[in-house]
Amino acid sequence: ATSTPQGISPITQSTTKDATPTAVATVAATATAGLMGQQYIDSARMASAVNTTTAQPTQLTNVFKIRQPIFVTFSLHPKVSGGAVCLLWYLNQKPFSHYSFAVDGATQSAYSYAYAGGAGAGSVEIYWASTTACLDTSLAQVVNFTVEP
């Protein structure tokens, strides 16, 4: 069965202007090996544009400009009746945003995005959890990106 993709808009949790990270060292999809949550979330990719109907990236990249939308897309494989995705965003190794959303039991594509308020190295950690409280997380993917002035 086909399900509607999850479209996610993160909230900013810092005093920095809308910061965001997430990307892969290459533009191609890269698996994060050996992570417990990888069975639930895989194929994480960074993009500057996403088809919001399918949650598929339309412009893959891992280099962004300040205040440009930074998208991360990924595939969900819940294998249970449902759960949650928890995203933690970093810029220059400092956390600046987090976002979580519930998912049903269907395999589907999803995305999240944010805006970086400064330049530097960024990353997003994507976790699987049983609820959006994100108290029992399993790390699934880590993707890196760069924000240029």
Q: What is the pLDDT of residues 76-115, one digit of tens each?
A: 999 878 899 999 999 999 988 899 999 998 999 999 998 8
Residue 73 is predicted with a pLDDT of 98
Q: What is the SS3 assignment for 38?
A: helix
The answer to whether residues 143 and 64 touch, using CB atoms and an 8 Å cutoff, is no
What's the mean pLDDT when you consider all of the chain?
82
pTM score of the predicted model: 0.79
Collapsed DSSP state (helix, strand, coil) of residue 97? strand
Q: Compare 32 and 128 and report the one with higher pLDDT.
A: 128
Report pLDDT for 80: 77
Residues 103 and 82: beta-carbon distance below 8 Å: yes
- Joined together, the tokens standing for residue 33 give 């090996």
CA angle (117 as vertex; 56, 12 as ends), nearest 5:
70
Angle at 128 between CA 123 and CA 132, to 5 degrees: 100
Tell me the pLDDT band of 33, cut-offs 50, 70 and 90.
low
Q: What is the pLDDT averaged over residues 124-142?
A: 97
Smallest CA-to-CA distance from 142 within 37, 22, 51 is with 22
Is the pLDDT reported for residue 38 higher than 50?
A: yes
* Per-residue confidence band for 22, with pLDDT thresholds at 50, 70 and 90: very low
